[in-house]
Structure 1
Amino acid sequence: MLIIRLWNYFRGYVIIRIEGLTLERFINLATLNDIYLWDIDRFDYTTLEAKVSIKGFKELKKIIIKAGCRFDVISKEGLPFVLNKLKRRKMLVVGFILMIGVIFFLTSFIWNIEIVGSKDFDEGKLIEYLDKEGIKTGIKKSIVNEDELQIDILKKFDDIAYVDIDIQGTNLVVEVKKRSFYTEDDKIDKNKPCNIVANKKAVIEKVIAKNGNAVVEKGEIVEEGQVLITGIVQNDSEENILLVHSEGEVLARTYYYNTIKEPIIKQIQEETGEKYFSRELKIGNKSIHLKNGDIPFKDYLEFIDDKENGFYSVIPFNIVTHEYREVEIKTVKQNVDSLKESLNVIITKEAMEKIPEDSKVLSKEIDFETKDNFLIAKIKIELIEDIGKKEYIQNQIEKYEEE
């Protein structure tokens, strides 16, 4: 039972091995003298192991001699023996106590600041702001007023809709959610007059003016910023002018260009199978390299295992393992036809990611040329897309307000 095991541990006990031809007599003598033996394990006719209390062990020596046997002490277990070892190692005990004290002291500080939430939020700006406000690694937790810091961040950053401050162990976690903004056209007041202008140079294909008047025609080349649908509407006699909020769609022919290149003869790295390891102790943002000599390779790849230990949120330290793999540098010549196929896939994928989703691809041309050991791929994509964007009629508004 667990209670009995704990009791024996606190009292202390000795594991002994008895050897002799009269083991039964030895056990009988121990029983007659009220010496309790437990967990008796007999290996053969002449050998057994057993556990006995510290007091019983002292009395057992006489009985062993009387029974004509001999004994060996296998181990001494329990709290009394642990305390005896600690008495002989006072500096170890003092060092352990100091270590615990230092750990508890370190856990009263912030050792890591983590920004979580919106992926497209500029974390650098927030970290810089926190640093100016004195919120940085190494400060005491008691200095951080979570409610005040939340309010200050919301006042400072217009693009943050929500912020939550949470101290988790030695980590300061700042959760932010970015404010959702409307598109440029959505931010235009529907009650104010505006034009629809070109957002890029293009060739007009079709103009659908739902409100306002179209001022360009099919086949016309327009420049960026040129008015396509005007919000200045005149009647047939041209006596009255009405300013309206333009609505409509302007489809135009546009072009997308891109160039990428890849060396025909290049150097590659091949692993030899040889590896070298070193470790680094990280305490907060500080690090101590525990080097075991210099890296024995001229050319190598480095891999870093920076997994946090399970106590990182309480004890701010981490062991980082650096793995170095030896490589051989080789010069290879790539097959030009295979390289063309590869560049074709890459440049097409990049192009399709950048063109507007609602655009229509009319044609795609990819040309290749070789220059200075490079295979160069050039792509030209012809599109039909809506190039209109809304723009207030500022000058006209001011003019008619004066009149």
Structure 2
Amino acid sequence: MATDQGEVQLQVRFVTKQEQYAVPDSPYAIQSNVQAAELNTLVNAVLKETKPLIQKAVEFDFLVCGELLCSSIAEHLQEKGISTEDTLEIEYLERFPAPKPQECLMHDDWVSSVHTHDSWILSGCYDNSIHIWTTKGQHKLAIPGHTSPVKGVSWISIEGDQASFASCSHDQSAMLWVWNVPRNSVDCVVTCRGHDKGLECIAVAVDGKHFATGSWDNNICLWSASLTDEDNVPAKKRSKPEQGNSRTPKSTLKGHREAVSAVKWVDYNTLLSSSWDHLLKLWDCELGGIKQEIAGNKAFFDADWSPLNNSIVTASADRHVRIYDPRSTESIVKTTFTSHTGWVQSVRWSTTRDTLFLSAGYDGQVKLWETRSPRTPLYDLTGHEDKVLCCDWSNPALLVSGSCDNTVRIFKAKHATASA
């Protein structure tokens, strides 16, 4: 094999799972120093000849040996220790288009949590307030009620003229709220108390019937999300006046040794938690026991579960993002993503594409990743001028993040026409 790989000619075969872009299966001879841009030109030239109905050039990404090509083919193969003498199979797929910056939502303090549902955005703030916005940037309501920073917000349901959502705060309480949309008025209907320290995270189950909270007391509490006074506690028996009815946890999951940083529902009975104690835990909520425990080497600040790929993505104190496969019998860490220069504070999977996720960190960066490109993010979503504390991708069309610069930034994701 020639020592200067830039001069080597390669035989390549192009394959794709996106049938509308399939080209003939014959091999092509190319220089080994070509990069994705030249491959893109070549595939589009072949498409123009073989598929005259495709009028516009298509932007493609290329997978070589299962990883996105971000350098020349020669460098890529050298790194993988693969010979340039065999015919190389290159898979191509339509590139996810760059998200476009939209509105910037101004707050009076740090934004620590954000959650999107259809055309509405909830944000939680360090000035103890909750806010409702339209996705077009219109501010609907500022909601007082908590007495310390709000660390988690989550929509429960939006049906007709009524919406419900939950919040949690460092004031040791979670609250359930009802928003009358036509009147634009909000009532706290239930205050949930059961933690001994501030609450850090909240997650509503898929069925909307219960939710979980994680706290600095190292515990996870499970609660009913019912908006009626199911506990039937007479007002005069309450130890102190509360907003709405007071509620205690249905159960408490104990096992973490430090603050619980994230809770996520895997299914109706399984909960994922991450903690500053370097552990991820999967819980059986009915039995109250631990199904599985995964040890990391640093504090976990966030974790998210994807039902599309059955994997966990984590944010950590060592500046890395990792994907864990809890079903793996060998190495549970599937991939490590390195690009952030500060603590990674928040991670969220795409709800529609099993290979895409967001990360946000103390370096002020929000990054959109492809799981098959561990060192280079697909896109940097710039704009924040301080630490980014939270991100959300619940609405497939909107990538949302909140920061210590007192803003929520919105990026619009235009879906590639052929979703994988």
Question: TM-score, normalized by length of structure 1?
Answer: 0.17
Greater percentage in strand: 2
Greater percentage in helix: 1
